[in-house]
Amino acid sequence: MGRVDLGGEARPAYRVAMRELPQSARPRERLWRDGPGALAEAELLAIILRTGSQEGSALDLARYLLGRFGGLVGLGKASPEELSVVKGVGPAKAAQVAAALELGRRLGAAVRFRVAVNTPEDAAALVMPEMRHLEREEFRVILLDTKNRVIGVETVAVGSLNSAGVQPREVFKGAVRRSAATVILVHNHPSGDPTPSREDVALTKRLAQAGELLGIEILDHIIVGDNKYISLKAEKLL
């Protein structure tokens, strides 16, 4: 049996084209019949891709992409350029996939921004799904209104694996522009260990002093690890 190459990986040439599947088994028809929640990630991705290539169906290509990039999380981190070089994808399909994933991110953010943050657990839950997977250190600010409802989450610094250059003017710029009443600082430790360093504590105190001058209180500083976090306020370090 011959083999084909989907972007560098040899696969069996035997396959079933989407049009050869029974209608009840096709992703688009299943979506209409059973709803989007009933479909696997590969089936949803196949609907976005719409068509496959000479090497396989849209479902084959979707499965390959998920495997190549390490699942949906890895696919979400891939750039359009990285997607487009996969055989059978190209610029048009890469743009479709990137746009769909970005819409999903924005929808998730819009839903989260309706909630109130009243505890360290609330703040960690807001950012943990995304920040626990980051490969570089990022410093973000959760902006809150007078009722502790989330106005937005802004990234103010992106650093190397173990540092992020954070300037007070960048931390509070968005808070001033969007009239935030209070803020919560958040950054991740790509190592997975959220234990605060001496530099983390010193930076927090320096930013708290800057916030006092601006009349914007820092409620907490959350350090995110791999599915765990530490609140500097709870640890009495703020």
Mean pLDDT of the residues in the chain: 86
Question: Positive or negative, the Cα torsion across 192, 193, 199, 202?
Answer: positive
Is the model's pLDDT at 3 over the cut of 80? Answer: no
Residue 75 CA to residue 44 CA, distance in Å, equals 13
Pair 185, 192: CB distance under 8 Å: no
Residue 112's pLDDT is what? 58
Q: Is the pTM of this model over 0.75?
A: no
Which residue, chain included where needed, has tokens 């409620």?
A: 219
Tally of CA atoms within 13 A in the half-sphere of 10 that contains its CB: 3
What are the C-alpha distances in Å from 130 to residues 56, 73, 134? 32, 9, 7
Could you report the per-residue pLDDT of 200-231, keeping only the tens digit for each?
999 999 999 999 999 999 999 999 998 899 99
- Mean pLDDT along residues 231-236: 95
> Domains (ranges, CATH) in the chain?
3-110 (1.10.150.20), 116-231 (3.40.140.10)
Read off the amino acid at residue 185: L
- Mean pLDDT along residues 51-65: 88
Could you report the per-residue pLDDT of 7-48, keeping only the tens digit for each?
544 444 445 566 666 666 788 898 998 888 888 999 999 999
Could you report the per-residue pLDDT of 100-122, keeping only the tens digit for each?
998 887 776 665 556 899 999 99
Pair 86, 104: CB distance under 8 Å: no
C-alpha closest to that of 199 among 163, 175, 173, 232: 163
Could you report the per-residue pLDDT of 170-209, keeping only the tens digit for each?
999 999 999 999 999 999 999 999 999 999 999 999 999 9
